[in-house]
Amino acid sequence: MPPEVSILIVSWNTRPQLERCLAFLDPHRHEVIVVDNASTDGSADEAARVSPNVTVVRQARNLGFAGAVNAAAARAHGRFLMLLNPDVRAHPDSIDRLAELLDAHVDYAAIGGRLINEDGKAQVGFTVRRFPTLAAWAVDLLLVDKLWPGNAISRRYLALDLDLSKAQDVDQPAAACLMVRHEAFAAVGGLDERFFPAWYEDVDFCRRLRDAGWRVGYTPDASFAHEGGVAMRALGLGAFSRAWYRNLLRYAKKHHGPVTSLTLRALIIVGMILRATISLVTGRPRDAKAYLGVLRDVVADRSTG
C-alpha cells in the first residue's frame, strides 16, 4: 500500500540540523524524501548514512525551497505531504495527528502544528500569521513596530490575538511544519518557484489554497520543536535581506496589484534608509551595507526581476 504521509525535507548546508531532524522520524512508518540543494557540507551523505531508508535526492544546483519541495512532491507517493524544515524535530505521533485531522476534514487543504522553542514555549508570532497587508508592511518598514510593539496592526498580522491553545482556521501556518493534501498541492500547481531562494512562497501558497476554496487550519495537538533562523544565518544579512524584500515585492505585485506594489517600493526605500542610518550611528557598518544593497536593488528596479 502507498504511504499515507510523505515527509519532504529541503536541505541546504544544514548537516547538524538534518541529522537531528531525521533521528525523530521513522522512515518505515512514513515515506521520507530529502532534497539536497547542492550542499557543500556533506548534508546529503550524512542523510544517507544516518537513515538508509530515506530517499535522498541530490541536486546539482540550488533549486531554492520552492523548487526543491516541488521536486520532492513529484517523487512522493503519500496522500499527504509533510513539509518539514531540517531544523524541526517532530514530537511523537505529531505527524500522524496532522494526517488524522486532514483525513477527517476533507475540506481542509493544509494544517499546521504548534511550533515550540527548546524551552517548550510556543513560537507566538511565527507559528501562524494572517496574510500581510500594506498597513502591516508599512508598520514594519517604518519601524513603527519597534517604537510601539503592541500596535493593533502588528498584533493582527502576527496573529497575537489568537488563542493558540485552540484548533482553528488560519490564513498561513509556517511552512517549517505544514501538512498538505497531495491533491490540493497538485491542484494549485505546488509552490511558486519564482520566490527564490526562499521566503514568501509559503504565504503565496496558502493564499492560493484559500482562493481556490480550500480551508487551512492549525492545531495545538501536534507539537514540533523549531530552531529557526538557520537559512538566514547561512546566507548572512545582506543576501537574506535582498532575497526577502525581492520576494516581498513579488508577492505584493502578484496579489495586491501595481498601486500597492509601487507604494510598497517607496516604503522599502524609506525603510532601508532608516535602517542603514541607524546601523551606521550604532556602529554596525556591515548591517548598513546590507540595507544599502536592498536600496540599490529597489532603486534600480531589480527587486522583482
Question: Mean of the pLDDT values across residues 280-290?
Answer: 98
27 preceded by a cis bond (ω within 30 of 0): no
pLDDT digits (tens, 9 = 90+) for 134-163: 999 999 999 999 999 999 999 999 999 999
pLDDT digits (tens, 9 = 90+) for 47-104: 999 888 999 999 999 999 999 999 999 999 999 999 999 999 999 999 999 999 999 9
DSSP E strands, the chain: 5-11, 31-36, 55-58, 80-84, 88-90, 108-116, 128-129, 168-169, 172-173, 177-181, 215-226
- The pTM score is 0.95
Q: Please check the confidence at residue 305 and state whether its pLDDT lies above 50.
A: no
Q: Please check the confidence at residue 304 and state whether its pLDDT lies above 50.
A: yes
* Residue scoring higher pLDDT (234 or 271): 271
Task: Report the distance separating Cα 187 and Cα 181, nearest Å.
Answer: 10
CA neighbours closer than 13 Å in the CB half-sphere of residue 237: 14
